[in-house]
Structure 1
Amino acid sequence: MAEPKPINPMLKLALELGPLVVFFVVNARVDLLTATGAFMAATVVALAVSYLLQKRLPLMPVVTGVVVLIFGGLTLVLQDELFIKLKPTIVNLLFAGVLFAGLIIWKRPLLGLVLGSVIAIDDAGWRALTLRWAFFFVFLAVLNEVVWRNFSSDTWVTFKVFGVMPITIVFALAQIPLIERHKLEGVKTDGT
């Protein structure tokens, strides 16, 4: 399999965050059902552009995109906001389940398969990092449930767009000491 073409980090960020921004803006101007349709369309466009630029689709955006289309479709067909609100819970539990299964069933830290070309750490570091991310995905699932069940739809959308990303960035930055402790010396990563 050919290596994916490198993509400008700002463009990559725009492709990942663009659908969420569309979701937020359309919800603020129209309503959640219309925003869901726009979110689905923006997700498909972002995946298509990503594929055109890289000639491959990364696994996590594809999984997220499929779940967006399924739950967004249910939201629109049944005219029920519940399904789009459940999507983050399902995606986060799916990611957590895969990471836990890798550690428990296959005895492999699967996060290393995804990030191994960017981060060079030892096996103990991959296991610890994978476990931490698995629990973090469970935390995000629970947090999503708390927010959508206890606050308005507009508050949930705002939290989804402007709350989850900062929480995730802070969590990722908090992992730097672990990565530094387990760093493999002399191993070059591609950094893309």
Structure 2
Amino acid sequence: MSNKNVSPLVKTALELGPVILFFVAFVLLKDREFIVAGTPYKGFIAATALFIPVLLISTGILWKLTGELSKMQIVTAVLVLVFGGLGIWFNDERFFKMKPTLIYLIFGGLLGFGLLRGQSYLKVVMEQALPMVDAGWMVLTKRMTAFFFALAVANEVVWRTMSTEAWVNFKTFGLTAALFIFMMTQSGLFAKYGIEQPDDTDAA
């Protein structure tokens, strides 16, 4: 386990920076077309080509600073590389648009598998950040599993029925807002099942 301490602002910037950069690049390039080796590429593909190395670099910096990466960060980086790469290789933006769906299905499936075994895999990942009794972790894991599956369905509906610009807005702001709102609505759960941690004064 890493003992390195990193500023929360730096950590947040490294995690959200690539997503914001992708949004900005798309806004600037969405109406442009680029010819590479005689093949025309839309601005979305160009923004994707910029996003992939930036995400990998920021993930690498985060690992260097903290000494560790969560399974979610590793899976996300791998899927971005694979699906983003396929989208660029085949010049087909659908690959990149399907990536969030697969990510949420994987996370929802893993959590659901743990629940079938009577375990909370979410606790393993987040226990230090959110100390709770086991009953609380089981409830939160059930809710998070359903939430991930709902996000997967939402992403499929948006990219298949709406414009690329609408999907980019949904990916950049909608999914982030949904996760924030979900965690805020769990405040009652945290209050009910949370474990108070002794402060330094009490320990002394």
Q: TM-score, structure 2 length as denominator?
A: 0.87
**Residue 170 of structure 1, aligned match among 181, 184, 200:** 181
Taking the aligned partners of 2:165 and 2:21, their CA distance within structure 1 comes to 14
Three-state SS of the structure 2 residue aligned to 1:163 is helix
Provide structure 1 residue ranges, at least 5 long, that are not aligned to the other structure: none
Mean Cα deviation higher: 83-92 or 48-57: 48-57
Taking the aligned partners of 1:97 and 1:39, their CA distance within structure 2 comes to 27
1:38 deviation in Å?
A: 1.1
1:186 deviation in Å?
A: 4.7
Taking the aligned partners of 2:120 and 2:17, their CA distance within structure 1 comes to 30
1:185 deviation in Å?
A: 3.9
In the alignment, what sits opposite 2:20? 21
Taking the aligned partners of 2:111 and 2:147, their CA distance within structure 1 comes to 11
Are 1:146 and 2:157 counterparts? yes
Larger radius of gyration: 2
**Residue 43 of structure 1, aligned match among 55, 80, 102:** 55
1:84 deviation in Å?
A: 0.2
Are 1:112 and 2:123 counterparts? yes
Q: Is the contact between residue 80 and residue 96 of structure 2 (CA under 8 Å) also seen in structure 1?
A: yes
Deviations 1:70-121 (A, max 9, x none): 00010000000110000000000100001001111x3210110011111111
- Structure 1: 4+ residue segments shifted above 2 A: 184-188
Q: Is the contact between residue 88 and residue 144 of structure 1 (CA under 8 Å) also seen in structure 2?
A: yes
Q: Is the contact between residue 132 and residue 193 of structure 2 (CA under 8 Å) also seen in structure 1?
A: yes
Q: Is the contact between residue 40 and residue 72 of structure 1 (CA under 8 Å) also seen in structure 2?
A: yes
Identity of aligned residues (%): 38
AA partner of residue 21 (structure 1)? I
AA partner of residue 10 (structure 1)? L
Taking the aligned partners of 2:106 and 2:143, their CA distance within structure 1 comes to 15
Taking the aligned partners of 1:144 and 1:120, their CA distance within structure 2 comes to 31
Provide structure 2 residue ranges, at least 5 long, that are not aligned to the other structure: 30-42, 200-204
1:59 deviation in Å?
A: 1.5
Taking the aligned partners of 1:8 and 1:141, their CA distance within structure 2 comes to 31
In the alignment, what sits opposite 1:71? 83
In the alignment, what sits opposite 1:12? 11
Count of matched residue positions in the alignment of Structure 1 and Structure 2: 186
In the alignment, what sits opposite 1:80? 92
Taking the aligned partners of 2:96 and 2:74, their CA distance within structure 1 comes to 17
Q: TM-score, structure 1 length as denominator?
A: 0.93
AA partner of residue 114 (structure 2)? G
Relative contact order, CA 8 A, sep 6+: which one is greater?
A: 1
